[in-house]
Amino acid sequence: MLTGGGSATRNIAIPDMDSTLLLPDTPIVPQDTLDLYAAYSGAAYNISDNWNCGTECQHPGTEGTTVIYHRNNDTFSSVGFIATNANNKNIIVSFRGTAGLGDWLENYLLDPIDWLENINGFSVVSGFLTGYLVVSVEVVQIVVDLSTKFPDYKIVATGHSLGGSRAALFVADMTTKYPNIASQMKLFTYGQAKCGNKVFAKYMDSLGIRIFREVNKGDIVPHLPWDITQYVHFGTEAWVDFSGKAMFCKSGNYSHCSAGISPLSYSFVDHTTYKDL
């Protein structure tokens, strides 16, 4: 079972990450960068056609954001937005996390499904993919057009919970179809579940782009689905431990981060209390 944030609880703040613990040769990212894209992830819960969604849209660094496209599909709850920011030269592609009945139903569709036929053995969680494919053609085309218009901008995919998994699928989709713009892409997710098999994870790690997954304390969702032989994580995990400190673990070393905690410490509350989200 996958769970997501609700607007009533998401603004509870965790302690500041007052120090950073590092493993050798592990990529790191400043806290303010993690917080910035957390705000963009949170904005997907309340966004409209304008950059006006409450505290997330007032986060430092989001000034100058212009919403280009706001999507809300009624069949599968594929909600989110595409925006640009001239100040930091970003194209932001944000996917909303679990919020309604449609999202909950998709979270239960955990069977693997083959995807991207040009990569042998590539499979992902069917429920995550179904909702993404509903909007993928339109979203990909808009981002391609924006990347042509703004060739010096970075394309930042982001999302919380279910939204983080869909953001990862978007990155996989874009980089296989348009490898010439792969170097422009970044991925920042928050409380993301495992969304693909080992072939999928290996592909994502091979891209050589900035991929960071923030995990808050004992958040249960990043440990799901339970089958560790079928689904695995990728990228660099930024784990905020129980004292509020940050540990960065790259792919293959997750046991030093959230994968090393006891299942007795897993928490749904920690899934809904990400800082700046």
| pLDDT of amino acid 77 | 56
Residue 187: pLDDT band (50, 70, 90) is: very high
Output the average pLDDT for the chain.
84
What is the structure's pLDDT at 114?
84
pLDDT at 37 over 70: yes
Q: Which of 1-5, 41-45, 90-94, 247-251 has the lowest mean pLDDT?
A: 1-5
The answer, yes or no, to whether residue 193 has pLDDT greater than 50, is yes
pLDDT of residue 277: 80
- If one compares 89 and 230, the residue with the highest pLDDT of the two is 89
Q: Checking phi first, is residue 220 left (phi over 0); if not, alpha (psi -120 to 50) or beta?
A: alpha
Q: Give the residue among 162, 188, 185 at the shortest CA–CA distance from 80.
A: 162
Residue scoring higher pLDDT (18 or 155): 155
Other C-beta atoms lying within 10 Å of the C-beta of residue 70: 15
In order of their start, the domains of the chain are 20-271 (3.40.50.1820)
Q: Is the peptide bond preceding residue 263 cis, with omega within 30 degrees of 0?
A: no
Give the global pTM: 0.88
| pLDDT above 50 for 33 | yes
Q: Is the pLDDT of residue 2 over 80?
A: no
Please spell the DSSP secondary structure of the chain, one letter per residue. Answer: ------TTTTTPPPPP---EEE-TT-----HHHHHHHHHHHHHTTT--SSS--SGGGGSTT-TTEEEEEEEE-SSS--EEEEEEETTTTEEEEEE--S-SHHHHHHHT---EEE--TTSTT-EEEHHHHHHHHHHHHHHHHHHHHHHHH-TTSEEEEEEETHHHHHHHHHHHHHHHH-GGGGGGEEEEEESPPP-B-HHHHHHHHHT-SEEEEEEETTBSGGG-SS-TTT-B--SEEEEE-TTS-EEEE-TT-GGGTGGGS-GGG-BSGGGS--TT-
Q: Which residue has the higher pLDDT, 228 or 205?
A: 205
Q: What is the mean pLDDT of residues 206-233?
A: 90
The two structure tokens encoding residue 174: 């874009």
CA distance 258 to 243: 13
How confident is the model over 60-94, as pLDDT tens digits? 999 999 999 988 765 555 789 999 999 999 999 99
Q: What is the structure's pLDDT at 110?
A: 62
- Give the pLDDT confidence score for residue 13 in this predicted structure: 33
138-175: pLDDT as tens digits: 999 999 999 999 999 999 999 999 999 999 999 999 99
Report strand pairing: 90-95 vs 246-249.
unpaired
Q: Output 106 or 229, whichever has higher pLDDT.
A: 229
Q: Out of 5-14, 75-84, 125-134, which region has the weakest mean confidence (pLDDT)?
A: 5-14
